[in-house]
Amino acid sequence: MYLNCHSFHSLRYGTIPLEELVEQAVSFGVKAMALTDVNTVTGIYDFIKSCQQAGIKPLIGMEFRWGFSLCYVGLAKNAAGLAEMNRFLTRHNFDNTPLPFPAPEFKDVFIIYTTENLPDVLKENEYIGIRPEELQKLILTDLKNRIGKMVVLQPVTFRTRTEYNLHRILCAVDRNIILSRLSPDDHCRESEVMIASDTLASYYENYPQIISNTEKIIEQCNFEFDFKTPKNKKYYTSSKKDDMKLLNTLAEQGLVWRYGRNNIKAEARMKKELTVIDQLKFSGYFLITWDIIRYSNSQGFMHIGRGSGANSIIAYCLGITDICPLELDLYFERFLNLNRKSPPDFDIDWSWKERDTILEYIFSRYGSDHVAFCGTNVEFKYRSIFREVGKVFGLPKEELDALAKNPMDLHPTNKVVRQVQQYGMLLEKYPNQRSMHSCGILISEEPITNYTPLEMPPKGFPIVLFDMHTAEDIGLEKFDILSQRGIGHIDDTVKLIEKNKGIRLNIRDTSISKNEKSCNDFLGIGRTIGCFYIESPAMRGLLRRLKCDNYKTLVAASSIIRPGVAQSGMMKEYIFRHNNPSRFEYFHSVFEEQLGETYGIMVYQEDVIKIALHYGGLPAADGDILRRAMSGKGRSKAALQKVKDNFFECCQRQGHPLKLSEEIYRQIESFAGYSFCKAHSASYAVESYQSLYLKVHYPVEFMTAVINNQGGFYRTEVYVHEAKMSGAIIHNPCVNKSEYETTLYGSHIYLGFMHLQGLEAKIAVFIQQEREKNGDYLSLEDFINRVPVGIEGLQILIFIGALRFTGKTKNQLLITARLIMVNFKPENRNLMLLQEPIKKFELPVLERSPFEDAFDEIELLSFPVSCSPFDLLQTKFRGDVMAKDLLMYHKKTVRMLAYLISRKHVPTKMGAMYFGTWIDADGEFFDTVHFTDSLAKYPFQGGGCYLLLGNVEIDYHFPTITVTKMAKMPFIADPRYSNTNDRQYKVHEQIREDVSMTHRKPYPQEHEINLPRNKMKN
């Protein structure tokens, strides 16, 4: 009887979570019900499964609304009916046109109108929904003549009075108005609750035709969905046979390319993988990915194939990945095995500048009807909840800010705030809006609108209305088309090298960078600023602790730096064993044979498979099941117990002692959930080497590219500093030299206009375009004549020194600019300046402090360029010890003066602590530790220079200073405001620091790791 039910997927309208809606239906004896969320089918697939488990017949539909107005409700008779509605709504979503009234012609959809909104004539598939409280209208109005086309309408939107209030709050949030301004038409009726089926039927006992019509619709709506059959595009060619033929050919060609001829081991691995791919019918997935890579290569784009796909030699031979699985002993079963039913998952990265071109190709090549982005549900979060709900209750901005920023126990205790808290907490985890998945692309065999309507977000690529989990559940596996700025660093550097030095470098040939001696030297001392994945303070510290000087150690470092791995204690133990190879025993001979590379520690997910295979005697495919079960990849407790029992049975058959097997299982259990895919680490390591090779051999070009890609662990200032340390000469923006991005001339770097705070982007771009079109700017007057810049933008350019080519001082330029522009009208730009000679002014000579430029730079760039931050200190003291000498001061107290780069918050059982990263007056980096007791007395006070007192600790070749005292050192007053005391220290506040907060439980102490360093005694 329920033909119009809403879940919380009716965004900012429905209040009932999907599963709870079905549970309520069971409690009220409902035998059939329809999910008709507002303009979406987000929840229908979970709804179908829940209803089938509960013995309820699921009906699928949508409530069509335009704006806040209800148009009609649609119910699908079958899959074709859902597709009709999806295509109808998609068209209006894309065109942003109002939904038509009455409803269009539908072949397999029932349409239900309300009594307030009726067409004069109803089509055969159209009905009028009448609510119980409206039945009296059938006595006195013309509606009594239309009873033959009526059905029961008892909408469901909420469950309780509290949820009714929550619904009204959601409606107010949706309309962006306060609660008191809601009109009755803005929200649902108070009757929109579920009641017992018998009670609902009794209201209509005098109208058997209405009940009959309702039952007829329920009977004729038979939407069935096959969750087991894959929905992805089946074939790249026209058939599975042709796909496999093409895949075999490409694999054989790639085998020769990668391994040469007659490599028996590689050929055997290739044939084995092809057999599994054929049996699992995944050839189309491989070929579509290969096709995307082929297009990328044709455009000269660089890509990185990573993730578990790098476990495949076929992927390596097809050029999808650049990781040789034989070199690293990578198990194909970690990626694909006969127990796996879902398609493989390739993660492919492109430069953030080129990803859209790849996406456009995919949509064009495979058809807009068959390609879309995965959606995501953006939930109400703590801050947004209190802002949104507080706004509805009429709270001012200051109170909203306080509620959003502070924990609830610090909120005021008045009645309104208590209501905001009550209803706000009800909204936690409720979906608030739909968005686009960052990288997941769906390519379907049938039109994608068979499964969902599509929306067109501002990005310009359509999205489905469900997330990746629902997509996987219904058989649509995503292609991960990602972007990262690290590839932009590499790609742009290669282009800069060719432009600046005339050298064409094939950085894709990983043999030139991987394990290259100079790169390994830089790795060992942590000189990796700007390099993908290995530039953070934690990673640089790890590289130094390991004295990392080879590819395989870098692969391991890329894995053990992960938070989960560190949390399990593996990172500390790995560092110990790496530096003390004679101070531990391998737990069992299998650990030495299979995990000797990582000193008997299960660092990678593949290691779990190795131990299961070589110690337990399980097939590799079963070893992957064990890994997945341990890491909680959707396995039930019963399935985990089955895997555990199988492991011990196999160990017993191998003749292993039970206690030994139990300890090994405990280690697997401890590590499997934290470990990282080795192929993923290897992909990261290869890209890290590519970045590092460019940094070592072409440092100025590399740092310029890093600055331009605006991405990395640190702020732009740090990369500018690193460029300077690499031999570059840094210049402020110049209208005759600079472009929107930072430019390079030999070893001279000119910062780009994009870095100027306050300068409009369109003016920044115009300056470059106009210069390229009509030549250099000849004077201030010429610049004003040619560039449509206002006085504010012109002053920014003057203050940063962008017009220094004129030979005039900033003061002279400012006076001249104001005299010219005081009566200047933009519409007369060309006429006035070209036809009237500029008056020559006698300008006074004004004294200017050499530090005024530095403060201009801090104000406009957030960091000084013309001098070092140390030059701005009131003191001439530069510290007793420099960073390069710290290795000589183990266990000694040192006093250092340093500029703060970044600090990382770390939770401990004693309270918060921080790791600090600094540079000294020589420009060298070093690191500090600040424990809770020290921070209580000597806290960080923002960006700038500090005097540090602390004790040096050398931890496996890596010096850190445990700070006992710290004081921020004063800079000189801003000489530009020598006559106004209130502004002399204002600009100093713009000197930045990078702060990284950590939200996790404290890591275990060494004694809590419980990883034995000795063999077990029998």
Q: Which of 138-147, 489-498, 616-625 has the lowest mean pLDDT?
A: 616-625
Complete DSSP assignment for 648-692 = HHHHHHTT--HHHHHHHHHHHHHHHTT-B-HHHHHHHHHHHHHHH
pLDDT tens-digit readout, 746-799: 999 999 999 999 999 999 999 999 999 999 999 999 999 899 999 999 999 999
pLDDT tens-digit readout, 839-868: 565 666 666 778 999 999 999 999 999 999
Looking at per-residue confidence, does 624 or 1009 come out higher? 624
Looking at per-residue confidence, does 624 or 810 come out higher? 810
Looking at per-residue confidence, does 743 or 343 come out higher? 743
User: What does the pLDDT read at residue 932?
Assistant: 93
CA distance 33 to 613: 50
DSSP lists the bridge partners of residue 114 as 129
Show the beta-strand stretches assigned E in 153-232.
none
Q: What is the pTM of this model?
A: 0.85
CA distance 1016 to 88: 68
Looking at per-residue confidence, does 350 or 845 come out higher? 350
Peptide bond into 17 cis (omega under 30): no
User: What does the pLDDT read at residue 835?
Assistant: 46
Mean pLDDT value across residues 890-908: 94
CA distance 1016 to 1018: 6
Nearest residue to 833 via CA among 799, 787, 878, 791: 787
CA distance 116 to 420: 34
| Mean of all residue pLDDT scores within the chain | 90
User: What does the pLDDT read at residue 7?
Assistant: 96
User: What does the pLDDT read at residue 205?
Assistant: 92
Distances (CA, A) of 314 to 237, 251, 290, 310, 311: 18, 6, 10, 9, 9
Looking at per-residue confidence, does 897 or 396 come out higher? 897
Res 833 pLDDT > 80: no
pLDDT tens-digit readout, 245-277: 999 999 999 999 999 999 999 999 999 999 999
The answer to whether the beta carbons of residues 8 and 429 sit under 8 Å apart is no
Q: Hey, what are 682's tokens?
A: 């290897």
Nearest residue to 252 via CA among 267, 237, 236, 241: 267
949 φ, ψ to 5°? -125, 125
Q: Which of 157-166, 986-995, 1000-1009 has the lowest mean pLDDT?
A: 1000-1009
Distances (CA, A) of 774 to 220, 597, 770, 778, 781: 72, 62, 6, 11, 15
SS3 content of the chain, % helix, strand, coil (to 5): 45, 15, 35
SS3 label, residue 292: helix
Show the beta-strand stretches assigned E in 36-130.
57-66, 69-76, 109-114, 126-130
Q: Hey, what are 618's tokens?
A: 């399980």
pLDDT tens-digit readout, 513-534: 999 999 999 999 999 999 999 9
Q: How confident is the model at residue 346 (pLDDT cuts 50, 70, 90)?
A: confident
